[in-house]
């Protein structure tokens, strides 16, 4: 009887392992299928590959349109990330440590850009920014992308703050430290992994944004995703595959960085006095 139970358990484990691997392949294959196309010598996005070539990467790095789009993304995304991180951390501190009525409603409003349809947000931003004369400007794009990034920062930082040992802050205050000094020297270093994780999510959301940018940007502010979208709509240029492969590589770097930060955060929590 015990042997039959162990065999059944092994079968279930094998089934779930197979199911997990199949689900992982289902998610990854549509993404990775674009990478070989970026090395295709053919002038068309098609399989089978006609030969190996780096011509589309050379086209990408020698095209003024693609480089301008990449430059715009590298200007807008970091600035939006910085603003979203600052606003997200401040909002998280207020939501976790503040005691006021309607905290749940405020939290829902803060994270609403993450759950609301992007096209609705884009239309609202278009009319609101038009009245502020922020359309077709870098400032408008930075503010819009920061708004979309704040929920990612809030969710990660709130989760870290809920497990933060507040006795450390009280101990620093009892020794005469000011609230600002306590936050910068005690609280921030301990919640830094969560802050950086949220910032990376905000950066990825800004760097990958298409819909809001289509509504707010002029051709001069065209970002890399917009350039890719225009290339698909106008002509299927294989340079799109090279740009997509570069973005996939950047995403992998972000994922590895977030995993390292997660492990660092676990080590810091285990080393804290509460543990």
Residue 40 has phi, psi (to 5 degrees) of -80, 140
Residue range(s) defining the domain that contains residue 148: 62-271
pLDDT string in tens for the chain (275-residue length) = 555 667 777 778 888 888 888 888 888 887 778 888 888 877 777 777 777 878 888 888 888 888 999 999 999 999 999 999 999 998 888 888 877 787 788 888 888 888 888 899 999 999 999 988 888 889 999 999 999 999 999 999 888 888 777 777 778 777 777 778 787 787 888 888 888 888 988 998 898 888 999 899 888 888 988 888 877 766 677 788 888 888 888 878 877 877 777 676 666 666 655 55
Q: Is 148 part of any domain?
A: yes
Residue 182 domain-assigned (yes or no): yes
pLDDT of 101: 81
Establish if 49 belongs to a structural domain.
Answer: no
Count: domains in the chain = 1
Does some domain include residue 50?
no
In a domain, 229, yes or no: yes
Q: pTM to 2 decimals?
A: 0.80
- Flag whether 32 is in a domain: no
The answer to whether residue 197 is domain-embedded is: yes
CATH code of residue 255: 1.10.3720.10
Q: 39 lies in a domain?
A: no
């Amino acid at each position: 009887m015990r042997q039959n139970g162990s065999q059944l358990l092994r079968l279930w484990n094998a089934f779930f392992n197979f199911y997990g691997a199949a689900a992982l392949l289902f998610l990854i294959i549509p993404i990775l299928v674009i990478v070989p196309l970026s090395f295709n010598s053919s002038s068309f996005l098609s399989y089978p590959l006609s030969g190996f070539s780096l011509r589309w990467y050379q086209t990408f790095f020698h095209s003024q349109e693609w480089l301008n789009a990449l430059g715009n993304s590298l200007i807008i995304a970091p600035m939006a990330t910085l603003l979203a991180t600052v606003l997200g951390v401040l909002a998280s501190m207020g939501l976790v440590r503040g005691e006021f009525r309607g905290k749940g409603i405020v939290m829902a409003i803060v994270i609403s850009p993450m759950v609301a349809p992007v096209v609705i947000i884009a239309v609202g931003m278009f009319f609101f920014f038009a009245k502020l004369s922020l359309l077709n400007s870098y400032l408008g794009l930075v503010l819009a992308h920061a708004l979309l990034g704040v929920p990612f920062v809030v969710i990660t930082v709130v989760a870290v703050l809920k497990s933060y040992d507040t006795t450390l802050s009280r101990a620093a205050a009892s020794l005469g430290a000011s609230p600002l000094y306590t936050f910068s020297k005690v609280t921030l270093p301990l919640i830094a992994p969560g802050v950086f994780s949220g910032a990376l999510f905000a950066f990825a959301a800004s760097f990958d944004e298409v819909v809001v940018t289509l509504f707010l940007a002029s051709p001069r502010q065209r970002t890399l995703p917009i350039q890719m979208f225009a290339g698909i709509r106008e002509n299927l240029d294989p340079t799109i595959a090279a740009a997509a492969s570069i973005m996939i590589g950047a995403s992998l770097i972000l994922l590895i960085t977030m995993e390292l930060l997660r492990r660092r955060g676990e080590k810091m929590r285990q080393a804290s006095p509460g543990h």
